[in-house]
Structure 1
Amino acid sequence: MKTMVKILVVEDDTTLFAEIESRFAQWSYEVYGINDFNKVMEEFTVLKPELVIIDIQLPKFDGFHWCRMIRTHSNVPIIFLSSRDHPTDMVMSMQLGADDYIQKPFHFEVLIAKVQAVLRRVYHYNTDQPVLKKWCGATVDMEKNLVSTDEGSVELTKNEIFILKVLLDRKNSIVGREEIIQKLWDDEKFVSDNTLTVNINRLRKKLNTLQLGDFIETKVGQGYIAKEKEDLSC
């Protein structure tokens, strides 16, 4: 991790932005705001931040729009902020590829903890770990976030590749939901159970393009298991 981490905060509440900037400076994070909410992508491209925090309700276009736009170009981690109390907002955020979701009002200690957890997961999780894993005839590239077979390849988000890694580390064994949540978000009390479900479903959908989705099996009331094909040494 670089000494100074650049964080882009797409937030039109100037008071909240100033507070985030002040609090994050104590952790050696460089916080940047948006000058023109019509040009979020232009400013994102120039800055190249390590993490993006996006409010849902914004001038011109909402946060969902900008998340879609960023995801067409980058897998940079994204955390959503929202003052709206709608479960569908969280589901939508995860489906668009967000890494976490925080509802306003929030404690800054929680925001900082979530940011630190995401940064550790995205930029440190594969330290001293094999970059490539073999699974059911597929090659899982932990560095490039790619799963490849003879039929093609699919790119995963940081969350998805990490979940797959956790399951592959214990192939043919059940990994509990709580264990995955703890590994993924460091502290399960900061994350809803539904968030994990959304990420697992999205992972399966992508793996289905390679006929691998069925090999991630749900064990009701227990967790998930990455199975092996019987006729392959996975």
Structure 2
Amino acid sequence: MANIFIIEDDSKIRTELHTLLTKYGHTCSFSDEFEQVVSIVLTQNPDLVLLDINLPMFDGYHICREIRLSSNVPIIMVTSRNSDMDELMSMHLGADDFVTKPYNTQILLARINSLLKRTYSNDHTNTLTHKGVTLDLSKSIVSYDSQTAELTKNELRILHLLMAHTGSIVTRDEIMNDLWQSDEFVDDNTLTVNINRLRRKLESIGVMDYLVTRRGQGYLV
């Protein structure tokens, strides 16, 4: 389960990638603010970036180079241009892999999973940290100021989704869709129960007002 940032100006392709990746347990985010996309990526700190070469404002080469100045996040270049020079340029600028369109979705998934495994296989813990709160995905534990609380599978997925999109509102539909991927039955009432339980667990370790409700919109941390 990884957080993948999609940089793609074609909304149809973005939607298709989002549907594909969430189906296989990943969380996805994107932005169409291409002038600011580098800073957005660095702020969200994803596990992997899918980066198209042909983009408005700045091309994928420029964005790849700018990301590499501050981050070693795995980058897969995705493009309809099929030439050795494009692939060579991508690798030279720090991309980790190169995929041409149209691509076989299963091959793309295999490339993504292989790169994630290569990059993170030596990590003994898989953690996210935000505002002093640390989420240990491997142990299903949230900690703050030397205090810890165990989370259920649903609580873990909810908090992971919110922490993977820090500063951005995640809608109730997006959360329920993510929970559905784990084969859990989740309706609107079930989500409310899980959110309330997660809040109480955070409060039990001294984390107050961490999970913010935006009425009619969703939640954020």
The separation in 2 between residues aligned to 1:55 and 1:41, in whole angstroms, is 13
Residue 5 of structure 1 and its aligned partner are, at CA, apart by 1.3
Q: Is the 8 A contact 2:7 2:30 kept in 1?
A: yes
1:94 aligns with 2:96: no
**Which secondary structure state, in structure 1, belongs to the residue aligned with residue 103 of structure 2?**
coil
The separation in 2 between residues aligned to 1:59 and 1:33, in whole angstroms, is 15
Q: 1:69 aligns with which of 66, 69, 76?
A: 66
Runs (4+) off by over 2 Å: none
1:118 aligns with 2:115: yes
Q: 1:84 aligns with which of 69, 81, 84?
A: 81
Q: Is the 8 A contact 2:64 2:95 kept in 1?
A: yes
1:34 aligns with 2:61: no
**Which secondary structure state, in structure 2, belongs to the residue aligned with residue 60 of structure 1?**
coil
The separation in 2 between residues aligned to 1:126 and 1:11, in whole angstroms, is 29
Residue 27 of structure 1 and its aligned partner are, at CA, apart by 1.6
**Which secondary structure state, in structure 2, belongs to the residue aligned with residue 31 of structure 1?**
strand
Structure 2: 5+ residue stretches without partners: 125-221
The separation in 1 between residues aligned to 2:123 and 2:26, in whole angstroms, is 22
Give 1:171's aligned residue: none
Give 1:44's aligned residue: 41
Residue identity opposite 2:19 in structure 1: S
Residue identity opposite 1:10 in structure 2: I
Q: Identity over the aligned pairs, expressed in percent?
A: 38
Backbone CA RMSD of aligned residues = 1.2
Structure 1: 5+ residue stretches without partners: 128-234
Residue identity opposite 1:112 in structure 2: L
Does the C-alpha gap of structure 1 residues 126 and 28 become closer, same or farther in structure 2, counting only changes over 3 Å? closer
Give 1:11's aligned residue: 8
Residue 125 of structure 1 and its aligned partner are, at CA, apart by 4.6
Give 1:136's aligned residue: none
Q: Is the 8 A contact 2:9 2:32 kept in 1?
A: no
Q: Deviations over 1:119-178 (max 9, x none)?
A: 000000576xxxxxxxxxxxxxxxxxxxxxxxxxxxxxxxxxxxxxxxxxxxxxxxxxxx
Q: 1:57 aligns with which of 50, 54, 58?
A: 54
The separation in 1 between residues aligned to 2:45 and 2:123, in whole angstroms, is 22
How many residues get paired? 124
1:145-164 mapped onto 2 (5 Å cutoff): none
Residue identity opposite 2:40 in structure 1: E
Residue 15 of structure 1 and its aligned partner are, at CA, apart by 0.6
Q: Is the 8 A contact 2:42 2:71 kept in 1?
A: no
Give 1:25's aligned residue: 22
Normalised by the size of structure 1, how large is the TM-score? Answer: 0.51
